[in-house]
Chain A
C-alpha cells in the first residue's frame, strides 16, 4: 500500500500537524509521525480538503481542440481541484445516459480527479422537452445535477416540471439565469460603459427576473434550485431573501466576477468577454459580501476554454468564456482572504464542503480526519505569483489574468491518496500536447 506523509502542515484552524496517508485514506493525523513512504516537507503550507468545482466546461466530446477530459483534469489538479463537474453543452449534448457515461469513463481513465457529469435539462438544450433525466440519474454516472448551462431554461413550465421531476432522486436544477428576450445579441453588461462603446447591453434584470421566478417555483414545488454564476447585486439580494424564507436555493459565484468589472471591456479585447458579463464595482462588492455571509454558497469556476482563434478577432465575433481552474484559488485568496472578508474555514466551505454537498459527491468535501478519503489540496497561502497564460496546463489560454499578480497558489494535490500534483507538476497525462 502506498504511503505519503505531509510534514508540519498547517490546517484551516491554524494548528500544525503531520498527515499520514496510507492507500487512499488518511491513516493518522498528529505530530512527529513517520512513514516508510514519501515525505513532503510542508512547512509554511496549508492542507485543505480537495477543492470541488461545480461548473466546468471540459469540451469533450466535440471540441477537443479547446480542452479534453484529460487536459481539463490536469488543469483541475494544478488548481487544487480533486473533483470537477462537466457541463453538458458538448457535442453531442450530454442529454442521455450514453453520453454522461462516456464522460464519466473519460474522467476515470484520466484518473487525476473525479469528473462528475452534469446532465442536460432539455433534450439537445433546446428548451422544449425534458432530456432523459431519469436515465442519466440511474446510469453509472449517477447524475444528480441537471443544467442547460450556456442557455437558460426560460420556459417557466419546463423549469417547473424539471424541478419537480428531479425530486425522484433528490436532484437539483442548476439554472443559467438569463432571460433570452432581454438579452438578444447582448455583448456586455448594460451600463454606461456599454453605452459609450456601442455594445448591446446584457441587463442585470435579465438575470434577476429569472432568479426571482425560479425561487418562487422552487418554493412552490419544494425542490432544490441552484443558481449558476450569480453576477449582480440584485441577484444576491433575491437569494438572501429566498434563504430567509427557507427556500431550498443555493448559489455560486465565479472567481472572475469577484474581481473584474466591465471597465476592462473598454479596449474591446475579447479576453474579457464572458457570460454572464463582467459587471460593475457595486456588483463585485455585493458578490463578495454575499459569499462571505453565506448568501452565496460556493465558488465555481465556469472554466470555459476556447482555442485562440475564437478570441483573436473583433468583440462581436468572439466566444464567451474564460479559463479559470488554475487561477481560482489565487483569486479567492486575493479577493476574500487578504481583504479580511473571509477566513480559511469559510474558504474550505465555499471551495470544497458546500459544492460537494450540493452535488452529492460522496467522499469529496470531507473534513481532514482519520479514515476519510484522502482528497487533499496543499497550498502556499502567502505565495505571490504572476499569471502567465503560456504556463497554463489547460489546452486553452484564454485567461483574463495574464500578467496579474495573485496571492496564494496550489503546491500539491492529493486525489484518493495519490499525489497527482507535486511541487506544481501534474503527475500524469504529460504526453498530451498542450496546444
Chain B
C-alpha cells in the first residue's frame, strides 16, 4: 500500500490488518512508553487547505508518537487559494523531503490527483477531500465499533448500522458506507430525500426517510454533522424541523437497544442533529472515537511508511 486515498483502495483483509495494527499500537503505548521509534528520520507533512483542527491534531499526534518529524502546512488563508497552487505547494513539500503528505482539501478528488498526477512521489493520505471521502475516519469508526462488538472479529456480519443525516455532502458517510459494506455490516442511510445521494440504490445499502421507523433494530447509530447553511439551499426548511425529523433526542435515544452505541465524527451541533443529553449519554462513544483516531492514524502511517513486509506480518519493529 503506497497511498490511502479511498476505502476502495483497500481490501477487507487490509482494513482488518490496519485495525489489528492499531490495537497492537494501543497495547504498546498504553504503559510508560508513549512513543515508538518506528518512523525516526521520516518526515510527515500535514497539508491542510481546510480548517480542521481536530483532524490535524490527530495526525500530528499519530506521527509524533511514531517519532516522525512533522511539518504542519496550513494552506488556508495564505496565498494558496487556487488549483495550480496544489501542485506548487505539493512540489515544495516534496523538495523539503516529505515522505508522506496528509492532505485535507475542499475539492473532491484532490488527494487522488496529488497521488496520481506525477507531481510528487511521497505517500499520500487522504484526510478528507471535499464531499468525497475521509478514509481514516471510517477506519477509526470501524476500530471503535470493533472494540464494542468484538475486538478480534474479522468482519461485521450481523451488525446493523444506521448513518443519519447529510449523506449527500458527507465524506464520512461515503467512506463509512464503503468500509462497513466491505466488512459485511448491514447499513441503512437515513435522511430527508433532499440529502440522499442520487442513485443510492447502486450503493448496496438500505435507505429510509424515517428515523423512527426501525430505530430499535440498530446496533450502531452514526449521526452526521449538518450544516445549517444547507437550509438556504432548500435542503430542509430550518433547523427546528430538521431536528424534529432527524435529530437524536432523548426519546429516540431511549428507544435504542441496550447495547447500541451512538457515534459522531465531530464537531457536533448540539441541539441540531444530536441533543446534548444524547451526546453525553453512556451510549455515546464520541470521545473514544477521538482517541481511537490517533491509534488508527498511527497504524496507517506505520503501514504506509514502515515498509510492506513489516506491515504484512503485523509485527512492530
Is the pair B131, A191 in contact by a Cβ cutoff of 8 Å?
A: no
Q: In whole Å, how far is B50's beta carbon from the nearest beta carbon of chain A? A: 13
Is the pair A195, B200 in contact by a Cβ cutoff of 8 Å?
A: yes
Which of B109, B116, B203 is close to A197, meaning CB atoms less than 8 Å apart?
Answer: B109
B84 interfacial contact with A, CB 8 Å? yes
A196 interfacial contact with B, CB 8 Å? yes
Is the pair A315, B109 in contact by a Cβ cutoff of 8 Å?
A: yes
A312 to B, closest residue via Cβ: B87
Contact segment of B21-29, B100-108, B259-267, B283-291: B100-108
Q: Which residues of A contact B132 (CB under 8 A)?
A: 197-199
Which of A190, A198, A199, A314 is close to B133, meaning CB atoms less than 8 Å apart?
Answer: A198
A195 to B, closest residue via Cβ: B197
Which of B83, B108, B233 is close to A198, meaning CB atoms less than 8 Å apart?
Answer: B108
Most chain A beta-carbon neighbours within 10 Å: one of B84, B87, B109, B131: B109
B174 interfacial contact with A, CB 8 Å? yes
Is the pair B109, A268 in contact by a Cβ cutoff of 8 Å?
A: yes
> Given that A192-B199, A196-B174, A267-B112 are contacting pairs, would A316 and B130 also be in contact in the complex, using a CB cutoff of 8 Å?
yes
Which of B108, B171, B174, B197 is close to A268, meaning CB atoms less than 8 Å apart?
Answer: B108
Count of chain A residues near B, Cβ 8 A: 24
Residues 289 to 322 of chain A near chain B (Cβ within 8 Å) = 309, 312-318
A201 interfacial contact with B, CB 8 Å? yes
> Given that A198-B171, A198-B174 are contacting pairs, would A314 and B200 also be in contact in the complex, using a CB cutoff of 8 Å?
no
Is the pair B87, A313 in contact by a Cβ cutoff of 8 Å?
A: yes
Bound-state CA distance A317–B109 (Å) is 11
Residues 65 to 80 of chain B near chain A (Cβ within 8 Å) = none
Q: Which residues of B contact A200 (CB under 8 A)?
A: 131
A194 interfacial contact with B, CB 8 Å? yes
Bound-state CA distance A365–B132 (Å) is 48
Bound-state CA distance A190–B168 (Å) is 12
Q: In whole Å, how far is A320's beta carbon from the nearest beta carbon of chain B? A: 13
Is the pair B199, A314 in contact by a Cβ cutoff of 8 Å?
A: no
Size category of the B interface is: 20 to 34
Is the pair B174, A317 in contact by a Cβ cutoff of 8 Å?
A: no
Q: In whole Å, how far is B211's beta carbon from the nearest beta carbon of chain A? A: 22
B86 interfacial contact with A, CB 8 Å? yes
Q: Which residues of A contact B108 (CB under 8 A)?
A: 187, 197-199, 268, 315-316
B219 interfacial contact with A, CB 8 Å? no
B169 to A, closest residue via Cβ: A198
Is the pair A199, B109 in contact by a Cβ cutoff of 8 Å?
A: yes
Which of A191, A196, A309, A315 is close to B113, meaning CB atoms less than 8 Å apart?
Answer: A315
Q: Which residues of B contact A195 (CB under 8 A)?
A: 168, 197-200, 202-203
Bound-state CA distance A315–B108 (Å) is 7
Bound-state CA distance A241–B129 (Å) is 43
Is the pair A190, B198 in contact by a Cβ cutoff of 8 Å?
A: yes
Is the pair A268, B198 in contact by a Cβ cutoff of 8 Å?
A: no
Which of A184, A199, A201, A309 is close to B84, meaning CB atoms less than 8 Å apart?
Answer: A309
Q: Which residues of A contact B133 (CB under 8 A)?
A: 198
Interface of A is mostly: loop
Q: In whole Å, how far is A307's beta carbon from the nearest beta carbon of chain B? A: 10
B299 interfacial contact with A, CB 8 Å? no
Residues 93 to 136 of chain B near chain A (Cβ within 8 Å) = 105-110, 112-113, 116-117, 129-133
Is the pair B82, A317 in contact by a Cβ cutoff of 8 Å?
A: yes
A309 to B, closest residue via Cβ: B84
Is the pair A192, B113 in contact by a Cβ cutoff of 8 Å?
A: no
A171-201 near B? 1/0 per residue, CB < 8 Å: 0000000000000100100111011111111
Which of B105, B171, B197, B203 is close to A314, meaning CB atoms less than 8 Å apart?
Answer: B105
Q: Which residues of B contact A187 (CB under 8 A)?
A: 108
A240-263 near B? 1/0 per residue, CB < 8 Å: 000000000000000000000000
Is the pair B110, A314 in contact by a Cβ cutoff of 8 Å?
A: yes
B167-180 near A? 1/0 per residue, CB < 8 Å: 01001001000000
Which of A192, A199, A267 is close to B116, meaning CB atoms less than 8 Å apart?
Answer: A267
Is the pair B131, A192 in contact by a Cβ cutoff of 8 Å?
A: no
Q: Which residues of A contact B112 (CB under 8 A)?
A: 267-268
Is the pair A192, B174 in contact by a Cβ cutoff of 8 Å?
A: no
Bound-state CA distance A404–B316 (Å) is 47
Bound-state CA distance A316–B110 (Å) is 9
Which of A191, A269, A312, A316 is close to B107, meaning CB atoms less than 8 Å apart?
Answer: A316
Is the pair B107, A317 in contact by a Cβ cutoff of 8 Å?
A: yes
Is the pair A192, B106 in contact by a Cβ cutoff of 8 Å?
A: no
Is the pair A314, B198 in contact by a Cβ cutoff of 8 Å?
A: no
Q: Which residues of A contact B110 (CB under 8 A)?
A: 314-315
Is the pair B82, A313 in contact by a Cβ cutoff of 8 Å?
A: yes
Bound-state CA distance A317–B85 (Å) is 10
Which of A190, A196, A201, A318 is close to B83, meaning CB atoms less than 8 Å apart?
Answer: A318
Is the pair A198, B87 in contact by a Cβ cutoff of 8 Å?
A: no
A317 to B, closest residue via Cβ: B83
Is the pair A316, B106 in contact by a Cβ cutoff of 8 Å?
A: yes
Bound-state CA distance A201–B168 (Å) is 11
> Given that A268-B112, A315-B107, A317-B107 are contacting pairs, would A194 and B198 also be in contact in the complex, using a CB cutoff of 8 Å?
yes
Q: Which residues of A contact B83 (CB under 8 A)?
A: 312-314, 316-318
Bound-state CA distance A195–B197 (Å) is 6
B168 to A, closest residue via Cβ: A195
Q: Which residues of A contact B116 (CB under 8 A)?
A: 267
Residues 187 to 215 of chain B near chain A (Cβ within 8 Å) = 197-200, 202-203
- The 7 A-B residue pairs with the shortest CB-CB distance, nearest first, are A313-B83, A317-B83, A268-B109, A198-B132, A192-B199, A198-B131, A316-B107
Given A315-B113, A317-B82, output 8 extra A-B contacts at Cβ < 8 Å.
Answer: A191-B199, A195-B203, A197-B108, A198-B129, A267-B112, A313-B87, A315-B108, A317-B83
Can you list 25 A-B pairs, Cβ within 8 angstroms, ordered by A? A195-B168, A195-B199, A195-B202, A196-B174, A196-B203, A197-B132, A198-B108, A198-B109, A198-B131, A199-B109, A199-B130, A200-B131, A201-B198, A267-B112, A268-B109, A309-B84, A312-B84, A314-B86, A314-B110, A315-B109, A315-B110, A315-B113, A316-B130, A317-B83, A317-B107
